[in-house]
């Protein structure tokens, strides 16, 4: 059978299956992300029925899915809101880095993998998945919630930090000297600053160039601009996701409103492809030997991520339920963690081969558990637990004033 014919059959069958799984998940009121991942595992390397002809299609589709998820997030906020949130969330970003990178760093050292592998695993455990979290927030209808800007601020700081981290870790894995590593880092910093400055200062000109009155021209213009900037950012060793997000915040007014409506169906399609592809490239047979260490690392770092979100939300005065929603929503790891593990495996001087399997199992655990944990604050028993905590705190007598000594 012709390869194109096989491609059409595989892609069509898998998309049809995703549609049925999505309908099934919504019927039971749960996120479809875990089902998409399991479908990818079933039809990927080592799965029940490997789909070889369509792997390249899903690889490109997955990349577009992450880009669309991030540009849609960017469309929700203006440039001024972004700068304000970044300033206010900088301490939270520092806490996030310390609490979530150190467990991965220490875990690799305990396993005897060396300090380069420790730097790699620190990045894997540090960064939450912007793609998964964006999808979860949309599924749960929390995009307009008060805690959502806090979540986005932490994610943006992580993504911007990755723009600096990825060139550094690439240089470490390549065994290059300080000079070459410093050049790569300087290019990354310069690119982020230029793109951010253009988005903030000239965003209104970009919006004016895209007419909101012609839906077809607007769709092509916004999609083309987003892919172009994301590709240029990736070429310059900066995250394509960061580039897409900055395009989103550069657009405003009617253009942003209509672009959101036009891009939403495309985002849903390619986001599903992204999660399927993640499962396709993961061999289920590699999971068992590293499952226990990955589970232990996942439990520790999900707890530290919940603490990060809770503290970040408390800093800006969000009430108790919102603090828990923030922390629990931040727990999934995803695309960046896989990218970092991939760099380690394909490096000129690769680190311990067990790291890739551990990272994959770790991400799979957190990406399946994360969307389920994000729903926890909506359950009746969790709300009752919060009410009990609040009642107990109200019954606790206030401390007596200190004696004056007269």
Residues 130-144: pLDDT tens digits?
778 887 888 888 888
Q: Which of 246, 271, 134 shows the shortest CA–CA distance to 238? A: 246
Cα 120 versus chain centre, distance: 17
Q: At what angle do helices 3-27 and 33-43 cross, to 10 degrees?
A: 150
Q: How confident is the model at residue 122 (pLDDT cuts 50, 70, 90)?
A: very high
Cα 135 versus chain centre, distance: 10
Q: In this structure, what DSSP letter does residue 206 have?
A: H
**What is the token pair recorded at 130?**
């912007």
For 202-290, where are the alpha helices, taking DSSP H only?
203-209, 215-235, 240-250, 253-280
The span from the CA of 101 to the CA of 169, in Å, is 14
- Mean predicted confidence (pLDDT) in 312-319: 90
pLDDT of 406 reads: 46
Burial code (b: 16+ CB inside 10 Å, e: under 16) for 282-294 equals: bebebbeebbebb
Instruction: For tokens 């200062």, name the residue.
Output: 201
Q: Which of 344, 342, 272 shows the shortest CA–CA distance to 65? A: 272
The span from the CA of 260 to the CA of 267, in Å, is 10
- Are 151 and 137 spatial neighbours (Cβ–Cβ below 8 Å)? yes
- Tell if the pTM clears 0.85, that is, is over it: no
- Are 331 and 344 spatial neighbours (Cβ–Cβ below 8 Å)? no
What are the two backbone dihedrals, phi and then psi, of residue 145, each rounded to the nearest 5 degrees? -65, 155
**What is the token pair recorded at 168?**
């550094």
| pLDDT tens digit sequence for 71-117 | 887 787 666 666 666 677 788 889 999 999 999 999 999 988 888 88
The span from the CA of 114 to the CA of 390, in Å, is 46
């Amino acid at each position: 059978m012709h390869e194109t014919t096989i491609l059409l059959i595989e892609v069509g069958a898998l998309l049809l299956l995703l549609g049925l799984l999505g309908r099934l998940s919504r019927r039971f009121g749960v996120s479809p992300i875990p089902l998409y991942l399991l479908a990818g595992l079933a039809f990927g390397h080592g799965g029940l029925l490997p789909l070889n002809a369509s792997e390249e299609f899903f690889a490109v589709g997955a990349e577009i899915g992450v880009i669309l998820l991030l540009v849609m997030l960017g469309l929700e906020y203006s440039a001024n809101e972004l700068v304000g949130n970044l300033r206010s969330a900088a301490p939270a970003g520092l806490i996030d880095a310390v609490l979530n990178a150190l467990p991965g760093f220490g875990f690799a050292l305990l396993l005897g993998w060396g300090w380069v592998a420790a730097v790699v695993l620190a990045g894997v455990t540090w960064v939450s998945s912007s793609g998964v979290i964006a999808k979860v927030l949309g599924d749960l209808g929390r995009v307009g919630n008060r805690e959502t800007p806090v979540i986005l601020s932490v994610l943006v700081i992580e993504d911007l930090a990755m723009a600096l981290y990825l060139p550094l870790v690439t240089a470490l894995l390549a065994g290059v000297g300080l000079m070459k590593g410093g050049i790569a880092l300087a290019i990354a910093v310069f690119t982020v600053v230029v793109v951010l400055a253009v988005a903030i200062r000239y965003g209104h000109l970009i919006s004016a160039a895209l007419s909101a009155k012609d839906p077809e021209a607007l769709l092509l213009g916004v999609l083309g601009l987003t892919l172009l900037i994301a590709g240029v950012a990736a070429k310059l060793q900066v995250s394509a996701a960061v580039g897409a997000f900055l395009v989103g915040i550069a657009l405003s007014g009617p253009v942003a409103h209509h672009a959101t409506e036009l891009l939403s169906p495309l985002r849903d399609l390619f986001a599903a492809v992204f999660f399927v592809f993640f499962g396709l490239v993961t061999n289920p047979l590699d999971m068992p030997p590293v499952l226990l260490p990955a589970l232990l690392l996942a439990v520790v770092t999900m707890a530290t991520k919940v603490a990060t979100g809770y503290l970040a939300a408390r800093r800006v005065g969000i009430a108790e339920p919102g603090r828990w929603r923030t922390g629990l929503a931040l727990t999934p790891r995803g695309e960046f963690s896989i990218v970092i593990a991939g760099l380690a495996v394909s490096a000129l001087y690769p680190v311990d081969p067990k790291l890739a399997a551990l990272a994959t199992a770790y991400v799979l655990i957190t990406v399946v558990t994360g969307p389920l944990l994000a729903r926890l604050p909506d359950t009746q028993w969790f709300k009752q637990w919060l009410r009990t905590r609040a009642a107990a705190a109200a019954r606790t007598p206030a401390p007596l004033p200190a004696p004056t000594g007269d």
